[in-house]
Structure 1
Amino acid sequence: MPTYLSPGIYTRETDFSFYVKQISTSSAAMVGVAEKGPINKPVLVTSWEQFINRFGSYINESYLAYAARAFFDNGGAVLYVTRIAHLTDSTDRDTLTALKSSIVLQNREATPADALRIEAVNEGVWGDRLSISIEDGSLDPANHFNLVVRHKGDVVEVFKDLSMDETLPNHVELAINDRSDFILVQDLAAAMGTPSDRPALGVFTLSGGDNGLTDLADADFIGDPSQHTGLYGFDEIDALNLLMVPGVTTVPVINAGIAYAEGRKDLLFIADTPMHLEPLEAVDFRKGQGMYSHAAFNSSYAALYYPWLEISDPVNSRKKLVPPCGAVAGCIARSDQKTNVWNAPAGIDRGRIFNTLSLAYKTSRGERDVLYPEGVNVIAVFPDTGINIWGQKTLQSQPSAVDRINVRRLMMFMEEAISESSRFVVFEPNHPQTWRALGRLINPFLQDIKDKGGLYDFAFQCDEETNTPAVIDRNEMVARVFVKPTKTAEFIELNFILTSTGADFKEII
């Protein structure tokens, strides 16, 4: 208690206004092969146009761009992308086999010497389609030069009145390296400590790029936690909710995606079945039986979708099959934007898939009756509603509340939001005042979810029963949050009862 030495009014303030902050629920992440872009470094893109600018367009070797396009077409808005390439040693980033396109330009001296090294901003054969034009500058033609960058023959960047004098603000490295989206330059003469004349006039094409796809293996997609490669490139990004490796359906990659999601406990891993499967084969793939010999996929932090989608390929307008994960993630994001995280991302509204022509396999009701009990979420075609996600099960084998995606995502949302917002009690006195303060934080948050239909009921306990003297002596504080999550209506039974003309409904109902 404070000590008061003279009469007067003494004001004290206690802050009980802590509240649970809102968190993102529909940020997605993809790992895959791209035309260009930084390798093993997550990049945020918020539109298809941004994806093209950073990672290029569609390529034959990968479904990544197709999945990203489907994500944005179906309502997704926040996507982190990690481009991968082959490492000869998965534990060493320096063993990357992808190469940057480059060229060395010589100066205009009587005996030409190397003046500039120009390389693509990142690895890949895309850089072989870059060309550089060197022209005389306009302000001081005797000392300055212009550098024009072309990609596929189109002018994409122009840098004017550059200098080889590293003491000037228009020095070629200063003017280009922090501004160009396509190239990096190195003043070779400055690196050697000798001044250089301008590079020779002409048009020069970069070469030597390599996508690094030879010997590409599951390990490149999975990555290494010590190197933050592959899946582990997302370690430092907290605001993630959905994870995919589009079109990669090998068992090691799917198991790694599941393990990564389970380790974080804030992600749902969306897995694709292999492309050309019959319904019973899809069940075999999920359970590891028949032609497959792996252990059954079993996790509430993952979901499996079948079949693949048929689209009109933007490259040549031909029909093409693409994995469903990108469209599914987009539907989940759209569902969160329109409703709440505890609403099932399935059905004729929230599960509607756009910009899709058909499916690799059109299931019958009987086939869906076989697939869904085994945890395979079917994408189905209906005459009046188009193509819809018609299931929302996780891959958990044991029946429980979290064998449904809406409940698993609700739990992830509540756990993360409450954990993030409860940090104010760390190092606070472990006594009833702090316990009540935590309750004042959590109870309104859960009540709001209940009022909006996400919970049937809840209870919060943080008292002498959960915090015994032994618990307190260990410097621990224990709280319990009991929740009854809202379940979805998936099996609708309509009973039609015929009565006689004189029947009284009040007696029947």
Structure 2
Amino acid sequence: MPDYTRPGVYLDEVPASPQPVTAVSTSTVVFVGCAASGPVNQPVLISGFIEYQRQFQRSAKAEPPGQPDAMTLAVMAFFGNGGKDAYICRLASANDDNDVAELTVNDYNQFYQTVLAALNDYSLLLLPGQHWQRSKHAQSNAVISASLAFCQQQRHCLLLLDLAADIQLSSAAGASAVGLPASSYAALYYPWLTITNPLASGMLTVPPAAVAAGLYCRNDGRYGVWKAPAGVTAKLIGITGLAFTIDDNIQQQLNPLGINCIRTLPRVGTVIWGARTLAGKTDTEWRYISVRRTAIFIEQSISQSLQWVVFEPNDQPLWQAVRRNISNFLNTLFRAGAFQGSTQQEAFFVRCGLNETMTQQDINQQQLIIELGFAPVKPAEFVIIRIRYALSPP
């Protein structure tokens, strides 16, 4: 406070209200698996494929030409389709021979609980080299299930998983027999894709999860996380073909099961033509990827921005500040098109206060309870056009 000792006009900088809610990133991906070299059990943030090669591949002389390893293939596909930032997490197998098949469920779980649980600035998890198999007892299925359990526990990331390359789906019955996990924290794309090998001559077959992750980042930056990463705007880059052809009949059987098909459409190109999680029919509220990711985005933005409230007096001034800050954040999203409704009241609500979200007992137990709700926008999966012809009387 200045010492006012004479008459005059004084300028006084008044601190702003408690720091506002700021949006977290939705475009950072974590790849967990084997790599040719590089730090072990340590997330390394990279922003391009060349940076990955420098840190996680052997020298060009030592690296044989041909099929890249699973991690290299996934990272290459991710950045090739618009990916921005990625954590590379190299797990070493028992023989340290860059063989993902040698990794066990315990290797993944130990890394998740000791290292990855402390990291919260990512929103997608991928497992290069681990593919869902038909066999219920496959090691890779156990790894994927454990990774999905971790995502559900953390509540801030979506697992993108791949089917094994030899699984061909042509009916709902066949897809159900594969025994996919049911969760809104998981998404699956089908089929595998072919690309031109940028590291040597020939073609490569790549699993689609990393390609989809790159598209997520591109879609988030252009439209927002609430826009479904699918449709004619979800055109994939550098894809030369599909391992299996998807027609309307196959898609209408796979889509209700949450299997997102990749298709090549006339005059459009190769696009993602599905926008569902693996939530299943019993959890329809979280059926769509964009709805689940929007909820994660809002939850993480608010929880990370409200650290300042800890140890503040749990009374009216705090409740008002919390309601104001969260409402301002949600109103920004509303204006950007993230919610349904023509007014703020229709789009979202924020509640915090005594006899509203808290009892006196809650306050005595040092609990600040906030309730909020929002009306998410959902993709127009089924566009129905009704055409009526007015016939002239005879």
Give TM class, smaller chain: 0.7 to 0.9
SS of equivalent residue, structure 1 residue 24: coil
Structure 2: runs of 5+ lacking an equivalent: 1-6, 58-62, 132-139, 341-346
1:82-161 correspondence to structure 2 within 5 Å = 82-87=89-94, 97-98=95-96
Residues 410-450 of structure 1 show CA distances to partners (whole Å, capped at 9, x for unaligned) of 00010011111112221111222211110111011111111
1:474 equivalent in alignment to 2:358: no
CA 1:378–1:438 in 2, change beyond 3 Å: closer, same or farther? same
* Deviation at residue 485 of structure 1 after TM alignment: 0.9
Residues 65-98 of structure 1 show CA distances to partners (whole Å, capped at 9, x for unaligned) of 11111111111110111122213xxxxxxxxx33
Residues 473-496 of structure 1 show CA distances to partners (whole Å, capped at 9, x for unaligned) of 111121110111111111101111
Residue 127 (structure 2) aligned to one of 239, 242, 245:
245
Q: Is the 8 A contact 2:93 2:100 kept in 1?
A: yes
1:81-480 correspondence to structure 2 within 5 Å = 81-87=88-94, 97-98=95-96, 211=97, 213=99, 216-219=102-105, 222-224=108-110, 229=111, 233-249=115-131, 250-280=140-170, 284=174, 287=176, 289=177, 292=178, 296-349=180-233, 351-397=234-280, 398-456=282-340, 457-464=347-354, 465-480=356-371
Residue 79 (structure 1) aligned to one of 86, 92, 96:
86
Equivalent residue letter for 2:128: P
1:488 maps to 379
CA 1:24–1:233 in 2, change beyond 3 Å: closer, same or farther? same
Q: Which moves more between the two structures, 266-275 or 311-320?
A: 311-320
1:491-506 correspondence to structure 2 within 5 Å = 491-501=382-392
CA 1:493–1:269 in 2, change beyond 3 Å: closer, same or farther? same
Residues 171-224 of structure 1 show CA distances to partners (whole Å, capped at 9, x for unaligned) of xxxxxxxxxxxxxxxxxxxxxxxxxxxxxxxxxxxxxxxx26497133366241
Aligned-CA RMSD value = 2.6
Q: Is the 8 A contact 1:282 1:376 kept in 2?
A: no
CA 1:498–1:62 in 2, change beyond 3 Å: closer, same or farther? same
Q: Is the 8 A contact 2:262 2:274 kept in 1?
A: yes
2:29 maps to 28
Residues 147-170 of structure 1 show CA distances to partners (whole Å, capped at 9, x for unaligned) of xxxxxxxxxxxxxxxxxxxxxxxx
Q: Which moves more between the two structures, 73-82 or 317-326?
A: 317-326
Identity over aligned pairs, percent: 30
Output the CA distance in 2 between the equivalents of 1:215 and 1:440. 51
Output the CA distance in 1 between the equivalents of 2:309 and 2:170. 52
Equivalent residue letter for 1:222: Y
Equivalent residue letter for 1:460: V
Residue 69 (structure 2) aligned to one of 48, 62, 65:
62
SS of equivalent residue, structure 2 residue 353: coil
Q: TM-score, normalised by structure 1?
A: 0.67
Equivalent residue letter for 1:486: V
Output the CA distance in 1 between the equivalents of 2:240 and 2:172. 22
1:116 maps to none
Output the CA distance in 1 between the equivalents of 2:373 and 2:270. 37
1:48 maps to 49
SS of equivalent residue, structure 2 residue 161: strand
* Deviation at residue 17 of structure 1 after TM alignment: 4.9
Output the CA distance in 2 between the equivalents of 1:325 and 1:423. 34
CA 1:333–1:215 in 2, change beyond 3 Å: closer, same or farther? closer
CA 1:252–1:281 in 2, change beyond 3 Å: closer, same or farther? farther
Output the CA distance in 2 between the equivalents of 1:265 and 1:427. 25
CA 1:445–1:463 in 2, change beyond 3 Å: closer, same or farther? same
Residues 348-389 of structure 1 show CA distances to partners (whole Å, capped at 9, x for unaligned) of 11x211111101111001100000100101111112111111
Output the CA distance in 1 between the equivalents of 2:335 and 2:84. 27
User: How many residue pairs end up in the alignment?
Assistant: 363
Runs of 4+ with >6 A deviation: none
CA 1:231–1:492 in 2, change beyond 3 Å: closer, same or farther? farther
SS of equivalent residue, structure 2 residue 102: coil
* Deviation at residue 231 of structure 1 after TM alignment: 8.2
Q: Is the 8 A contact 2:112 2:150 kept in 1?
A: no
Output the CA distance in 2 between the equivalents of 1:451 and 1:31. 37
Q: Which has the higher contact order (CA 8 A, sep 6+)?
A: 2
Equivalent residue letter for 2:36: E
SS of equivalent residue, structure 2 residue 374: strand
Q: Is the 8 A contact 1:223 1:231 kept in 2?
A: yes
CA 1:214–1:421 in 2, change beyond 3 Å: closer, same or farther? closer
Q: Which moves more between the two structures, 236-245 or 411-420?
A: 236-245
Residues 437-477 of structure 1 show CA distances to partners (whole Å, capped at 9, x for unaligned) of 10111011111111111112101111222121111111112
